[in-house]
C-alpha cells in the first residue's frame, strides 16, 4: 500500500484511516447545564472532568497526537430528573450474544439505582421509531428478570434505514428524554443522524449508542460484546474445515468471513 494512512492503534485493534479524512471529535455534546444533585446511591466515585487516553495517532509509525475521551461514570450533577425521565431502548441489525443482558442491565440500573419509572422497549429496530410501525413494550425489573438466560433480543430487530427526521419527531411527540440504541456500525450511524436532527431542532433529548457487533469493527473499542463468542464458535468451524481438508488428497477448505470493512 503506497499511500500514507493514519492508523488508530488501541491495543490489538488497528483501524486504517486516509490522511485527508479529519479525525472525529471525541467530545460529548452537552444538552445544557446539569442542575440537579446526583443523590442516587452509587458504588463508584464521581468522574467529573476525568479523561482517558483512547489511542495513539501515528503517521508512518511515528506518534503525532493523542486522543482523549471523557471517562464514563456517575457525575456530581445530572441533567434529567430521573422520576420524570422517559427512556426508550432499541436493538437493531443482526443478533448478537448478550443483547438481552444489556437490556436487562439498563433496566435494572435505571429503575433500581435512579428510580426511573418510564422505560420502554421500541420493538423491531428503528421501525419502532416510525409512528405507523411503532410497537412499544413497557419494561421493568420483573419483565427483564430472567431474559439474560435467553438468546436473541426480547425487543426484536430489523435492518434498513428510516428517516431520521421522522424518528426525531417521534421521540419529541412521545415525550422521550433518552434513547439507548444497541447496534453495529449502521445502527450507530443512524443514532448519530437522529442526534444531529434533534440538535438541529434544539430538542434536549439524549441519544446513547451502545456498540454491538460480533465483527468487532467499531472504532475506539477494544472488544464489543458478542465478539468473543463469535471467535470461539468460528474456531470450531475453522478447525473442522481444516481437519476435513487435511483428510483428503489435495483437499481444500474454504472459510467465508463476514464484516464487510472489518479489519
**Domain check: are 101 and 126 in the same one?**
yes
CATH number at residue 177: 3.40.50.450
Domain's final residue, options 173, 190, 212:
212
The pLDDT, as a whole number, for residue 4 is 34
The pLDDT, as a whole number, for residue 17 is 44
Residue 64 forms part of a structural domain: yes
The whole domain housing 42 covers 1-78
Strands laid side by side in the 51-59 sheet? 13-17, 6-10, 51-59, 62-70
Domain's final residue, options 212, 227, 246:
212
Residue 3 forms part of a structural domain: yes
Domain's final residue, options 189, 212, 235:
212
The pLDDT, as a whole number, for residue 45 is 81
**Domain check: are 43 and 151 in the same one?**
no
Nearest one of 107, 102, 120 to 171, comparing CA atoms: 120
The pLDDT, as a whole number, for residue 163 is 96
**Domain check: are 52 and 84 in the same one?**
no
Distance from C-alpha of 239 to C-alpha of 38, rounded to nearest angstrom: 52
Nearest one of 241, 228, 190, 201 to 96, comparing CA atoms: 228
- For residue 177, CA distances in Å to 42, 60, 136, 194 come to 22, 44, 15, 13
The pLDDT, as a whole number, for residue 63 is 56
The pLDDT, as a whole number, for residue 55 is 54
**Domain check: are 90 and 25 in the same one?**
no
Is residue 262 within 8 Å of 216, Cβ to Cβ? yes
Residue 144 forms part of a structural domain: yes
The pLDDT, as a whole number, for residue 216 is 75
**Domain check: are 86 and 150 in the same one?**
yes
The pLDDT, as a whole number, for residue 95 is 86
**Domain check: are 51 and 2 in the same one?**
yes
**Domain check: are 71 and 13 in the same one?**
yes
Residue 252 forms part of a structural domain: no
**Domain check: are 38 and 130 in the same one?**
no
Instruction: Give the single-character DSSP code of 259.
Output: -
**Domain check: are 12 and 100 in the same one?**
no
Instruction: Give the single-character DSSP code of 22.
Output: P
Is residue 57 within 8 Å of 19, Cβ to Cβ? no
What are the pLDDT tens digits along the chain (263 aa)?
333 333 333 333 334 444 455 556 667 778 999 999 988 866 678 888 777 765 555 555 555 555 677 777 888 889 999 999 999 999 998 888 889 999 999 999 999 999 999 999 999 999 999 999 999 999 999 999 999 999 899 999 998 889 999 999 999 999 999 999 998 888 999 999 999 999 999 999 999 999 887 777 777 677 777 778 778 888 888 999 999 999 988 899 888 876 666 55
Domain tally, the chain:
2
**Domain check: are 47 and 151 in the same one?**
no
The pLDDT, as a whole number, for residue 67 is 65
Residue 240 forms part of a structural domain: no
Structure-block grid coordinates of residue 17: 484511516
The pLDDT, as a whole number, for residue 58 is 54
The pLDDT, as a whole number, for residue 79 is 94
Rg of the chain over Cα atoms, rounded to whole angstroms, equals 21
**Domain check: are 90 and 151 in the same one?**
yes
Catalytically active residues are 215
Is residue 225 within 8 Å of 91, Cβ to Cβ? no
Mutual orientation of helices 185-201 and 164-173 as an angle, nearest 10°?
Answer: 60
Distance from C-alpha of 206 to C-alpha of 34, rounded to nearest angstrom: 13
Q: Helical H runs in 44-96?
A: none
Amino acid at each position: 500500500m503506497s499511500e500514507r494512512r493514519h492508523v488508530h492503534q488501541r491495543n490489538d485493534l488497528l483501524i486504517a484511516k486516509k490522511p485527508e479524512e479529519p479525525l472525529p471529535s471525541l467530545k460529548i455534546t452537552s444538552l445544557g447545564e446539569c442542575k440537579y444533585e446526583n443523590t442516587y446511591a452509587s458504588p463508584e466515585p464521581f468522574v467529573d472532568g476525568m479523561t482517558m487516553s483512547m489511542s495513539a495517532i501515528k503517521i508512518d509509525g511515528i506518534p503525532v497526537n493523542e486522543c482523549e475521551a471523557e471517562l464514563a461514570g456517575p457525575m456530581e450533577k445530572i441533567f434529567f430528573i430521573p422520576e420524570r425521565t422517559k427512556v426508550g431502548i432499541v436493538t437493531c441489525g443482526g443478533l448478537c450474544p448478550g443483547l438481552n443482558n444489556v437490556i436487562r442491565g439498563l433496566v435494572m440500573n435505571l429503575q433500581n439505582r435512579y428510580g426511573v419509572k418510564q422505560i420502554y422497549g421500541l420493538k423491531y429496530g428503528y421501525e419502532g421509531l416510525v409512528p405507523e410501525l411503532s410497537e412499544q413494550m413497557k419494561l421493568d425489573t420483573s419483565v427483564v428478570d430472567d431474559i439474560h438466560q435467553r438468546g436473541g433480543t426480547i425487543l426484536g430487530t430489523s435492518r434498513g434505514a428510516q428517516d431520521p427526521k421522522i424518528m426525531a419527531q417521534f421521540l419529541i411527540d412521545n415525550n422521550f428524554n433518552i434513547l439507548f440504541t444497541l447496534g453495529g456500525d449502521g445502527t450507530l450511524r443512524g443514532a448519530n443522524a437522529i442526534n444531529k436532527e434533534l440538535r438541529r431542532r434544539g430538542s434536549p433529548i439524549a441519544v446513547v449508542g451502545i456498540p454491538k457487533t460480533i465483527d468487532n469493527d467499531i472504532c475506539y473499542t477494544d472488544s464489543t460484546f458478542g465478539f468473543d463468542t463469535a471467535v470461539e464458535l468460528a474456531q470450531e468451524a475453522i478447525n473442522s474445515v481444516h481437519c476435513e481438508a487435511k483428510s483428503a488428497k489435495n483437499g481444500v477448505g474454504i472459510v467465508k468471513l463476514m464484516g464487510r470493512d472489518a479489519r
